[in-house]
Structure 1
Amino acid sequence: MTGRVTIDQAIAKAKMTVHLPATCIMFAAWGQALILVPSGLLPPLFTFMSMAVAVSGWPLAWMYRAYMTPRWKLWAYSGAGNVQQMKAAAIVAKVIGPDNGFAEKSEICSKDMRAQILRLEGRA
């Protein structure tokens, strides 16, 4: 990373690359069922599939967040002047969860990425 990242820039990027897509995934899954199922025009198999997609919307959104959050952390912490301030602001903005919380434990990343994040946070 060549340039510094401000807290506001990092939070804005998290909202655009983590929160917004996850929200879109969830609402798209629900929306397609709300549009297709009440019409009654679908064969039973497609109605069932539509409902299955609707039910899977929240877990899919969670998986997306779990995959993207550590990548955002690595980018934000690498460019931050003060990692602790960045982390505190991200927790307040609900971009990340507290240390050792369920959200952090469910993050999907390699051991190397996890080690880099912990080193940048000063917990390694």
Structure 2
Amino acid sequence: MTARVTIDQAIQKARMTVHMPATCIMFAAWGQALILVPSGQLPQVFLFMSMAVAVSGWPLAWLYRAWMTPRWKLWAYAGAGNVQQMKDAAIVAKVIGPDGGFSEKSEICSKEMRAQILRLEGRA
């Protein structure tokens, strides 16, 4: 049996395990380029690699978020007393997107995990 989770606890965990790491990935990718490229002290190939990492920061952050969001949903919904309230609060807090939205469609998970999430949401 999973311990009950309050909405505030679930939202806080999403911010710490989904949003903050994704933001750090993006800013780290941009930051390394802002530090390395203007210095001009590196060989040309490293400057190009640095720029490639900077450009890939947003897609890498999106990939991380697409991977972690369904895992958070499964944890939060399994511990929620009222899944619909949890889901509504998560949408308002911008932890997850609305049903059928781009962010939901881009989530990376197995068919079994997707089925379990839909069952917990009452959409299966």
- What SS is found at the alignment partner of 2:30? helix
Distance 1:3 1:107 in 2: 25
What is the alpha-carbon root mean square deviation over aligned residues?
Answer: 0.5
| 2-structure distance, mates of 1:51, 1:121 | 42
State TM-score, norm by structure 1: 0.99
**Secondary structure of 1:24's match?**
helix
| Cα distance between partner residues in 2 of 1:90 and 1:2 | 19
Give the whole-Å Cα distance in 2 for the aligned partners of 1:23 and 1:3: 29
* Runs of 4 or more consecutive aligned structure 1 residues displaced over 4 Å after TM superposition: none
CA distance in 1, matches of 2:50, 2:2: 46
Number of the residue aligned with 1:38: 38
CA distance in 2, matches of 1:26, 1:119: 33
Residue 2 of structure 1 deviates from its aligned partner by 2.6
Q: Percent identity?
A: 88
Q: Which runs of 5+ in 1 are unaligned?
A: none
Alignment of 1:1-124 (within 5 A): 1-124=1-124
Q: TM-score, normalised by structure 2?
A: 0.99
